Structure formats: structure tokens, C-alpha cells
């Protein structure tokens, strides 16, 4: 359902589609991501969404 909504929507920023991402990072990076997410009251996924906007 979400995928269909995303494909049909012209405003892709308003439709969330579950995507499994896997990345190998060192422990320091994992801890920093968790810390920054917690400081902002976000999940790691939400933090990564925000980071992607700035790339």
C-alpha cells in the first residue's frame, strides 16, 4: 500500500516507504549516529533521512 501510494504521488517527500538499508560502519560511527539521533529525539532512520537531504 505505501509503495503504491509513493509511486502514484507527485509529492514524494510526504510518502514514507519502508526500505531496509544495511551498512557496515565502525563502532565509533554507530555510537555517534545513535547519540545524535537521541539528542534530537529521532530514530536512527529519521536522522539518516535528515542527513540525506543535505547530500
Q: Encode pLDDT of 15-50 as tens digits.
A: 777 778 888 999 999 999 999 999 999 999 899 989
Task: Tell me which DSSP letter residue 12 carries.
Answer: G
Work out the number of other CB atoms within 10 angstroms of the CB of residue 36. Answer: 14
Flag whether pLDDT at 2 surpasses 70: no
Within 8 A by CB and 6+ apart from 46, the residues are 37
Task: Tell me which DSSP letter residue 54 carries.
Answer: T
Amino acid at each position: 500500500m505505501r509503495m503504491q501510494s509513493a509511486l502514484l504521488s507527485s509529492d514524494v517527500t510526504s510518502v514514507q516507504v519502508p526500505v531496509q538499508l544495511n551498512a557496515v560502519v565502525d563502532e565509533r560511527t554507530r555510537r555517534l549516529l545513535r547519540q545524535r539521533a537521541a539528542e534530537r529525539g529521532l530514530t536512527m532512520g529519521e536522522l539518516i533521512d535528515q542527513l540525506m537531504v543535505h547530500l
